[in-house]
A = this chain, B = another copy of it.
Amino acid sequence: MRAIWARIVDLGAIAATRPADVGGQQLPFLVGTLATAYLMAANLSACAYAGLTSGAAHLIEAFGDDFLKREMMARMYAGEWTGTMALTEPQAGSSLADVMTRATPREDGTYLIRGSKIFISGGDHDLTDNVVNMTLARIDGAPPGIKGLSLFAVPKRRYENGTLVGNDVHVAGAIHKIGWRGLPSLALSFGDEGDCRGWLVGKPHQGLRYMFQMMNDARIMVGMNGVATASVAYHEALAYARTRKQGRPIASRDPNQPQVPIIEHADVRRMLLRQKAIVEGGLCLVAFAACQADVAAHATDAEARRRAAHLLDVLTPVAKSFPAEWGFEANVLSVQVHGGYGYSSEQLPEAWLRDQKLNSIHEGTTGIHGLDLLGRRIVAEGGAPLRVLLEEADAVIGRADRAGVDAAWCLAVREAMARLADLTAHLGGIGLSGDVEAMMLHSTDFLTVVAIVVVAWLWLWQAALAKEALARGTAEEDFYQGKLCAAQYWIWTELPRVTHLAELCRSGEDSYGRMRDGWF
């Protein structure tokens, strides 16, 4: 990891998307995200040190004072120190309202920090001299709940008289994760000796708001983790299926004939095409979301910024969750294509399978993203985010129509979009009537509906581009024919699930709603 870290720093990966005046390369977020995908496919853990450091430094860049920028942000962007996100506590996993770490003001303007954090990725290591933990804590007297949380920079070591000395931050335990083995996940204890200093970032009681401003980016990066992990496994399965000979065609099983590569079996191609549809659909989704982040932040036109911000709002939970959930399924298929060899740790697919599982858990579980999408994002501002999404999809359907994509595919996507619009209006109406629990009962199914429909729209887009390329003549005909097959697969195999799932959400099917603890 030491060798990789030096290369990542040299590459400028940490500040790649940041402005030049903080040492960045000013790459669009889209470009940074896509470029990082290659590194993620090679080593998720190594990328995570860079990503966490970038995120921590970015928080200070956005909200910190000049002292913190000079002393901490600059060193993180330069790769001299690394950073972490220290939110989770043992008694408050997903429930940040219950964070208990305390911060007591000191006379010099810093705070005494005391508390326990858990699952802190990269929370200690010796790749660099120091680790800055961006820590949520509660200033003495702060209100309960999320409104009382402040953000602190709590380094592992602090300068005293020009020398780095310990800052009373201790490793209380290591989580033995099943994947991401190159990145320690630690329990950290702050202030066991009463001497842990934290520097307030921004204003008191604004900690969660600050964190959330960074979280959209982080969630898109988690989405790319998922895509990259599914992608590398897909390509490994493809290479295996092309070379592994086993069995004979179903219609001619003469044992005197040689065996054929397993890619010639239809069911193996099913498993490969499903992986391709998930991986390339997910890549398109995450890239599209990253692009919206760029436009929302930098477009000169206010209307373009507004539309991009709406799209980003709806797409973020999907871009985070789709690669985690469907990507895991793709990783399972990669193991399955490898047969008995896939069940062995001498082959890589099982390692990617283990890596992938984290993505449905960290940075908000899939269930929490379902609640966030349905309960907040898609119904915000009277449904404006959904309207923008529908308009964008409509434009793509029109383009696909004109490009000569099968009219039945276009119609299927159009009807699915209409179904999504109806369903959202229906559930939003239930929410407005005051029955939030009924509205949210199938929030995870709702997330599934949105994910499948959005990815279908993006596959239709890819099909339109393929048709356009084939019509004008291309040297990459194979590439575009593959795109058309994958689009066809998604639209006829996955998209129809939406009919039943939307009905489930709408009907309020109440089996687990009414299920009681004692009945299990």
A residues adjacent to B (C-beta < 8 A): 88, 91-95, 97-98, 118-119, 144-146, 175-179, 238, 242, 245-251, 253-256, 259, 261, 263-273, 276, 328, 332, 335-336, 339-340, 342-346, 350, 353, 357-358, 360-362, 365-367, 370-371, 375, 436-437, 440-441, 443-444, 478-479, 481-482, 485-486, 488-489, 492-493, 496-497, 499-500, 503-504, 507, 509, 511-520
Contact B437 A250 (CB under 8 A): yes
Which B residues are CB-close (under 8 A) to A500? 496-497, 499-500
Contact A345 B519 (CB under 8 A): no
Which B residues are CB-close (under 8 A) to A95? 246-248, 259
C-alpha gap A179/B253 in the complex (Å): 34
Contact B496 A512 (CB under 8 A): no
Which B residues are CB-close (under 8 A) to A479? 519
Contact B512 A273 (CB under 8 A): yes
Which B residues are CB-close (under 8 A) to A266? 437, 440-441, 512-513
16 additional contacts (CB under 8 A) given A266-B440, A273-B511, A336-B367: A95-B247, A97-B255, A144-B255, A250-B436, A263-B517, A263-B520, A264-B517, A271-B367, A273-B520, A339-B365, A343-B361, A478-B518, A481-B516, A485-B511, A489-B509, A489-B512
Which B residues are CB-close (under 8 A) to A251? 436-437
C-alpha gap A93/B339 in the complex (Å): 8
* Residue of B with least CB distance to A338: B361
Contact A509 B481 (CB under 8 A): no
C-alpha gap A340/B363 in the complex (Å): 10
* Residue of B with least CB distance to A235: B520
Report how many copies the assembly holds: 2
Which B residues are CB-close (under 8 A) to A92? 246
Which B residues are CB-close (under 8 A) to A265? 367
Which B residues are CB-close (under 8 A) to A515? 269, 272-273, 482, 485
C-alpha gap A256/B148 in the complex (Å): 12
C-alpha gap A242/B518 in the complex (Å): 10
Interface centre among A145, A339, A375, A436 (most CB of B within 10 A): A339
Which B residues are CB-close (under 8 A) to A360? 336
Smallest CB separation, A303 vs chain B (Å): 35
C-alpha gap A485/B370 in the complex (Å): 23
C-alpha gap A506/B460 in the complex (Å): 24
Which B residues are CB-close (under 8 A) to A518? 478
Which B residues are CB-close (under 8 A) to A367? 265, 267-268, 271, 336
Which B residues are CB-close (under 8 A) to A178? 343-345, 350
Known interface pairs A342-B361, A482-B519. Does A503 touch B512 (Cβ–Cβ under 8 Å)? no
Which B residues are CB-close (under 8 A) to A146? 255
C-alpha gap A488/B98 in the complex (Å): 36
Contact B489 A440 (CB under 8 A): no
Q: List 27 A-B contacts (CB under 8 A).
A: A95-B247, A97-B247, A97-B248, A98-B255, A118-B340, A119-B340, A144-B255, A145-B256, A146-B255, A175-B344, A176-B346, A177-B345, A242-B517, A250-B371, A263-B517, A265-B367, A266-B440, A266-B512, A267-B367, A270-B512, A328-B332, A336-B360, A478-B518, A485-B515, A488-B511, A489-B509, A492-B504
